[in-house]
Amino acid sequence: MSTATATEMLMPKLSDSMEEGTILSWLVEPGAAVAAGDDLLEVETDKANMTVQADGSGFVEILAEVGSTLAVGTPIARLGPGGASPAPVQATPPPSEPPPPEPVAQQPPASEAGSGDGDRRATPLARRIARMHGIDLGSLTGRGLGGRITKADVRAAAGAADVSPSPAAPARPPAGAEFSPAEGAKGEVEVQEPSRLQVVIARRMAESKSTIPHFQVETEVRMDRAIELRAELKRVADPEPVASFNDFIVKAAALALRNHPKANGSYRDGRFELHRRINVGIAVAADDALVVPTITDADRKTLGEIGRESRQLAERVRAGTVTPPELAGGTFTVSNLGMFGMTAIYPVINLPQAAILGVGMTRRQLVRGSEGEIEDASLMTLTLSCDHRILYGAEAARFLAEIRDLLESPLRVAL
């Protein structure tokens, strides 16, 4: 292939914080003809697994192997003229011809594991689950974005709500049993390799805690009026879904950020960067990772619009179909663990943002009323983690108090 007229594809920058990516799979064979916009490969980034499309048209010369971790801007493929392509540099076998099995791990036959067009249209997790259960991906219809086959499609075909293998519980040693020196007091150790996403998250959280002077402020919110308002919204909107309490919090935070620009900013190179747009990230638990899609211009959207968008984003994160633009541009983050019964959360700041809001569960508790009487109230704990380089205690307290006041007067949020 003549490189003089070829289009060189580089490792793309798929999120605002991405520095490198790992190639998960090539969706075309070496020498295949592609057109601009065709799905070319899947890349694991610091936020999610992404499908990368061809930049132009031509015949594919693959330059990087599956499993390679490359910096943004590194050449990964060429698209050139002609009907034939020389042997690719570090080429990966096509998806329909899996590499020979490792001596210690048996791979199921291609007819059982799924191959061909169905395999190339499936997410990496869907392919792994299909191999586990001997499901032919070519027989499935994808319900993901652009017809992609997701883990939900494979699980439905397997007739299981959750087909992830559960490790067998280790046998309890009999009473009085002694441990051998080789085994040690902790017993056998199972070593698991983290995914690229988990490695990047671990590195960024360590950098955040070691380089940013964190502090927290905390308050209790009386959610009684918000609960009553949501119950009324459910009554009039039935059978349509209504905004969740997390959506109330996202909208309240977005409105409060208008009056507290430093909380919507970043500290970079000794300067304050105050962002004009208010884009609130919502932490969503995915498979073995935490992904933060973004609701852009959250302060300008209605509560209903935020509710619909947050549900769609969460569904796409869990299906593995979330796109790079949906993960980019966040200026503030809300992390809610209330649905897991946690009364409070002290989250780590998502660099380079100035603050992150932790949300606990709503719980019934006896409190003193304004006249000293005992009342039964619904309380929720909000914790704001702040970067002390840009936000100071009094500013953070005023910002969090405004969020609390908005939630305690929820009609202001619903308007």
**Is 103 part of a structural domain of the chain?**
no
Q: Is position 388 annotated as part of the catalytic site?
A: yes
| pLDDT score of 292 | 92
How far apart (Å, rounded) are the C-alpha atoms in residues 170 and 21? 36
**Is 189 part of a structural domain of the chain?**
no
- 410 and 293 together in one domain: yes
> In this structure, what CATH number is given to the domain that contains residue 56?
2.40.50.100
Q: Could you give phi then psi for residue 18, rounded to 5 degrees? A: -70, 130
| pLDDT score of 234 | 92
- Domain end marker among 158, 176, 192: 158
- 130 and 222 together in one domain: no
Q: Is 408 helix (H, G, I), strand (E, B) or coil?
A: helix
> In this structure, what CATH number is given to the domain that contains residue 151?
4.10.320
> In this structure, what CATH number is given to the domain that contains residue 371?
3.30.559.10
- 410 and 306 together in one domain: yes
- 229 and 357 together in one domain: yes
**Is 146 part of a structural domain of the chain?**
yes
| Token representation of residue 137 | 């991906």
| pLDDT score of 248 | 97
- 246 and 391 together in one domain: yes
- Domain end marker among 80, 97, 125: 80
- Domain end marker among 91, 126, 158: 158
106 class by beta-carbon count within 10 Å (0-12 exposed, 13-18 middle, 19+ buried): exposed
- 400 and 259 together in one domain: yes
Q: Which of 133, 214, 275, 388 is catalytic?
A: 388
Domain extent for 129: 110-158
**Is 178 part of a structural domain of the chain?**
no
How far apart (Å, rounded) are the C-alpha atoms in residues 36 and 79? 10
Tally of structural domains, the chain: 3
| pLDDT score of 36 | 87
How far apart (Å, rounded) are the C-alpha atoms in residues 72 and 54? 16
| pLDDT score of 181 | 55
Q: Please name every residue paired with 276 in a beta bridge, in sequence order, or none if there are none.
A: none
Q: Are strands 294-295 and 289-291 parallel, antiparallel or unpaired?
A: unpaired
**Is 13 part of a structural domain of the chain?**
yes
**Is 176 part of a structural domain of the chain?**
no
- 232 and 131 together in one domain: no
What are the pLDDT tens digits along the chain (415 aa)? 444 477 889 998 877 677 888 898 899 889 899 988 888 898 887 667 788 888 888 899 999 988 888 888 999 999 988 654 444 444 444 444 444 444 444 444 433 344 455 565 676 667 767 777 778 888 888 776 557 787 778 878 877 544 344 444 455 555 555 555 555 677 788 887 777 667 777 777 777 666 789 999 999 999 999 999 999 999 998 888 999 999 999 999 999 999 999 999 999 989 999 999 999 999 998 776 788 999 999 999 999 999 999 999 999 988 878 888 898 899 999 999 999 999 999 999 988 899 999 999 999 999 888 888 898 999 999 999 999 999 999 999 999 999 999 999 999 999 8
- 390 and 241 together in one domain: yes
- 137 and 270 together in one domain: no
